[in-house]
């Protein structure tokens, strides 16, 4: 059993860490205020091979393993949690498109997504659905060699920044549930599409909103996978993204811990550095232990994927534990900084708001625990 990263992985980590520190961290707060991620940054990520790196070179990737993609997400998120969502999104959608789109369509879009010229969002949730993801009403009606999409998607990350979307729509009856759902690759500039943006507490640089489809015409060859099987085929990709989400959140927790350990050695009270007071150091020591364990769990899930082994339960563990633990850690780090930690000059309050959203989005803790229980009972 080898827990070490390879020399190549360590070299990639060092390069990404330097980029995150120099290019991302200084503008973390400004991106929240601007409510967007600069396309210049997206392009730089593409040039560095950070977007869809696990895809084959023929589709614009670098043929990296999933563990290395996890390293990339982790290091980027240390500099800016929200920018860390871009490689995660590119990996999730990249694998969906690579595996299920027509070859010409996959080549066209993936070459742009991996290069950082285009952003792809995933449109699954609907206003009445929430955690009941298979209860979709957005309708895709066959019209010759096209489908007409009519309905609404909501709570879609990057809804107003994306260039294309993986859209789930009902091609069968409501009674068919998941068996009547298909997936489509839909350019966001298609006539009949409009978007809105929500006022959220965090993740403002990513943004979340609704996408409205008013008889949007989509070529039939833009269907992903088999008609009526899109939901079942595509949902398998979420096991991958859930492990990456865990690392995205834990990266911010570890960064907060690193900053707080340093703070405790520099700040003095009662003639001693704060690091001398166990009331401050013991909670951080406990959280350091939890973060280390959760991080290894995430990499274990990615290792399982790389080795074509089942990892659904492990991915669900990553998804509920990572965001919750990260929020608790960041809160403790903020408290350790005292009154200075409460101010916006330090990043703790923004980090807490940002990671909190992932206790809801991409599957709640309750849903993840249901998955773990189901997998455990059937084992």
What structural domains does the chain harbor? 7-118 (1.10.540.10), 121-233 (2.40.110.10), 237-378 (1.20.140.10)
Residues 6+ apart with CB under 8 A from 328: 287
> What pLDDT does residue 379 have?
66
> What pLDDT does residue 131 have?
66
Using an 8 Å Cβ cutoff, are 244 and 91 in contact?
yes
Run of H or E residues at 146: strand 146-157
Using an 8 Å Cβ cutoff, are 243 and 251 in contact?
no
* Rounded Cα–Cα distance for residues 330 and 224 (Å): 39
Residues 6+ apart with CB under 8 A from 229: 179, 182
> What pLDDT does residue 371 have?
92
* Cα dihedral 35→40→323→341 (10° resolution): -70
> What pLDDT does residue 237 have?
79
> What pLDDT does residue 179 have?
72
Using an 8 Å Cβ cutoff, are 351 and 330 in contact?
yes
Q: What's the Cα-to-Cα distance from 305 to each of 7, 35, 132, 188, 300, rounded to whole Å? A: 21, 34, 26, 31, 9
> What pLDDT does residue 361 have?
86
Picking from 85, 91, 225, 102, the residue whose alpha carbon sits closest to that of residue 161 is 85
* pLDDT single digits (tens) 24-45: 999 999 999 999 999 999 999 9
Residues of the chain with pLDDT under 50: none
Angle of the 66-79 helix axis to the 85-100 helix axis, nearest 10? 150
> What pLDDT does residue 135 have?
77
Using an 8 Å Cβ cutoff, are 233 and 61 in contact?
no
Q: What is the DSSP letter of 267?
A: -
* pLDDT single digits (tens) 258-290: 999 999 999 878 888 888 889 999 999 999 999
> What pLDDT does residue 233 have?
73
Picking from 315, 358, 290, the residue whose alpha carbon sits closest to that of residue 85 is 358
> What pLDDT does residue 133 have?
64
Burial class from Cβ neighbours inside 10 Å (0-12, 13-18, 19+) for residue 368 reads buried
């Amino acid at each position: 059993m080898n827990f070490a990263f390879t020399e190549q992985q360590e070299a990639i980590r060092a390069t990404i860490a330097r980029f995150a520190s120099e290019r991302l961290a200084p503008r973390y707060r400004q991106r929240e205020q601007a409510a967007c991620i600069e396309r210049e940054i997206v392009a730089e990520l593409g040039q560095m091979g950070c977007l869809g790196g696990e895809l084959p070179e023929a589709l614009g990737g670098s043929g990296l393993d999933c563990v290395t993609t996890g390293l990339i997400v982790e290091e980027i998120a240390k500099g800016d949690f929200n920018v860390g969502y871009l490689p995660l999104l590119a990996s999730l959608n990249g694998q969906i498109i690579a595996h299920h789109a027509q070859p010409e369509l996959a080549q066209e879009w993936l070459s742009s997504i991996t290069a950082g010229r285009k952003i792809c969002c995933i449109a699954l949730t609907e206003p009445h659905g929430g955690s009941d993801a298979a209860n979709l009403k957005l309708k895709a009606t066959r019209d010759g060699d096209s489908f007409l999409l009519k309905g609404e998607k909501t709570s879609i990350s990057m809804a107003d920044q994306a260039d294309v979307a993986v859209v789930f729509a009902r091609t069968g009856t409501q009674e068919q549930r998941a068996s009547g759902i298909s997936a489509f690759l839909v350019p966001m500039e298609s006539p009949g599409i409009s978007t809105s943006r929500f006022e959220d507490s965090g993740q403002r640089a990513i943004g979340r909103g609704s996408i409205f489809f008013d008889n949007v015409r989509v070529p039939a060859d833009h269907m992903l996978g088999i008609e009526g099987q899109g939901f079942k085929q595509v949902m398998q990709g979420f096991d991958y993204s859930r492990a990456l989400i865990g690392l995205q959140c834990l990266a911010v927790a570890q960064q907060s811990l690193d900053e707080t350990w340093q703070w405790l050695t520099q700040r003095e009270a009662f003639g001693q550095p704060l690091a001398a007071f166990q009331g401050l150091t013991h909670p951080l020591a406990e959280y350091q232990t939890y973060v280390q364990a959760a991080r290894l769990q995430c990499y274990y899930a990615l290792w399982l994927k790389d080795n074509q082994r089942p990892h659904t339960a492990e991915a669900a563990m990553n998804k509920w534990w990572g965001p919750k633990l990260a929020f608790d850690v960041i809160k403790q780090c903020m408290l350790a900084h005292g009154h200075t930690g409460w101010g916006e000059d330090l990043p703790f309050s923004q980090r807490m708001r940002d990671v909190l959203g992932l206790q809801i989005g991409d599957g709640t803790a309750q849903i993840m625990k249901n998955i773990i229980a189901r997998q455990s009972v059937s084992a």
